[in-house]
Structure 1
Amino acid sequence: MDILLVGTYTQHDAPAVLEKQELGKGIYLIPYNEILGDVAGTPLIIQMQNPSWVCLVKNRLFAVSESEDAAEIVEYEVGVQEERLTAEKKAGLQMPGKASCHIEKDEKGQRLFVSDYGSGDLKVIDISEAGSPKLLQEISFTGKGLDPERQEASHIHSCFLHRGDLYAADLGCDKIYSFGTDKGKLLQKETIEVRPGAGPRHMEILDKNGKTYLYVLNELDLTISVYCNGELCQTISLEEELPEGALAAELCIAEEKMLYASVRGTGEIFGFTIDENGMLNLKQKVVVPKGWFRSICLDSSGKHLLAADQKTGKIYIFDRQSEGELGNQRVLVEVPVPVQVLSGKIE
């Protein structure tokens, strides 16, 4: 079954939640028709605290519980019985740290890499045995950046695995760390210094013509930095002036030809073509007035782009045209305080 997974904030003290906003209840599993781009059944809600990022490994669902009190990851077994979604909690793992906010899985579904925004940690979790996640390794980072409010300490915001190397974005210190992943352990290799005050948040990576291109979305100065084999080769400003309250949110790549970027606070989604040299060229800017798109993704078919608006509680769907432009848009479903939207399949 094709599904959408939506992680939500369930507490008013979570980041950017409005005072009187209806809160989410946990993880929303929504049956989905990827051909029509439509909801295809009754959603299932898994109740848990602040599941701000979810990850699907076959029929195993992992979610972080973003909390200032601890770092926690929870495992569920999800499935389909008589055309209805099912979910059963299998394990919970509490660890030192706080405000876990992102999960990356390895190619074989044996390990997870968890980013702790609050404590500036990167964790390796062994999930080789179902129902028994184990902490294998924890790396803590220190330092600070230019912004005294957002960069007072290290804040690991996300990580991205590519050809056996893991890249971690430190929003607090304006750095990208790279690691080898040989024999189940992370071994730090290089550090990329990002422009002071940029605040690297999320990444995408692409191999093209024998070179590796790293695309970094910088939350605080609303730019995209493009690195070719570790060297900065392009910087794109999403805004000529920084609108008050605007923050860059997420990237996604489509068919190695298009890169999309979302901005919270302006309702903008940018579409860039990727040329043969890996460089970005603006093709389109779509604006949803008063939109606050925290998360974007492609569905499994690649025919639609989904965008989660945290403040209005709406999941938008955009039809993708043959050249990658975003066409017709509509509200697909409403979910209170959606933080992440993810397309997946379960059996």
Structure 2
Amino acid sequence: MTILPSMVRFQFDQHRITVIDTPGQETYANNRFFGMFQADAAILVVDVKQGPQPITTQVVRILKGFEIPLMAVALTKMDRVDYEESAFRETEELVRLLCEDHGVVLDNTTFIPTSAYSPGRDIHEPGEGILGYEKIDWYDGPSIYEYMSKLDHQRIRPPAGPCRVVIHGSEVYDNVPGIGKTATALVEAGSVRPEQTLQFEPLSAEKGSPVTARVRSVQLTRGHIATPGIPVPEGHPRQLVGLAFKNVSFKESLRDLFKGRGVIAGPSSNPPKVGKRLRLELTVFDPDTVLKVGEVWTMHVHVDRAAIALDKVLAKRPTDSGDWEDTDEEGILPGEWARIEVTCANRPVAIEEADTLPMLSKFVIRHGKKAVAYGRCVKVIE
């Protein structure tokens, strides 16, 4: 069972791909959203025997809202249905209907049968279980690995903008032998290079002075800083990198400082935005939820989460592309788009504005124990 998102880098003849494995359990929703916020494209994994679940619906809605192309669907655990084509086709149709209901286009989406288990094979053997697909002679398409090796990169646009590096608090270390203070990070925009001074937010805002460090080295990594990587002159968007730091501006433990939160790093000359009052645009996708002024929600943004209070509903529109109309209403109904102002209840949050760095403006709202809305930040007020 996946708990923390893990990243594994695959090297093909013409390109590299970083695969982000995210948890499906609602308990670990923050980690799932982190993976989705970073993704250029998605492979949806569905249990062929159980079919689409409530979490599947939630993921499909967010893929649509954030315009993440669904490039493939892996129908897994084929061994539990005796590798039968009829079970595969039945679940495929259910997924197609679900995506159609939520406006997700599947014209170029590949459905791939797979399994993590095959009788007679050692559990530690690599591969997808169905060795050579000898058990599914009715299928003549690619395996997941083959599909990724021929991925259509015309559907992916690397982001531009100033350097922004996202760091998960669990991937920060104080004393890696021979390296020192380090972090595993995902480059979201721009490039990160040795001798660059990075400023960490919202840590700087919380401390009242810049929290900075100079990059000593950059290496491509397979997902963990302790795994030997490849030294590179700079890290580019969508690369998972290991960063070694020097000239750290604070004496505390780096791991303790980052613990339990997500951090965005950027050059000290152009640091990430951070604020306590935000203007957001969002839509409620949960059919049973109405969001109201005065309520406190949990906002998941990049690898962080923060409690926010709804101060005011400024305007509404029926769709994501309609005209905004001012309103004095105090509730947001399912399906409505609303422009709102919120206040971070406990501490500031690092978040970018949609017109400059859209990939770091995205968020998901949880109300109670479930995700109910998604949207983007349009202005950091203060």
User: When the two structures are superposed, what TM-score results if normalisation uses the length of structure 2?
Assistant: 0.28
**Structure with the higher fraction of residues in helix conformation:** 2
**Structure with the higher fraction of residues in strand conformation:** 1
Q: Based on CA coordinates, which of the two structures has the bigger radius of gyration?
A: 2
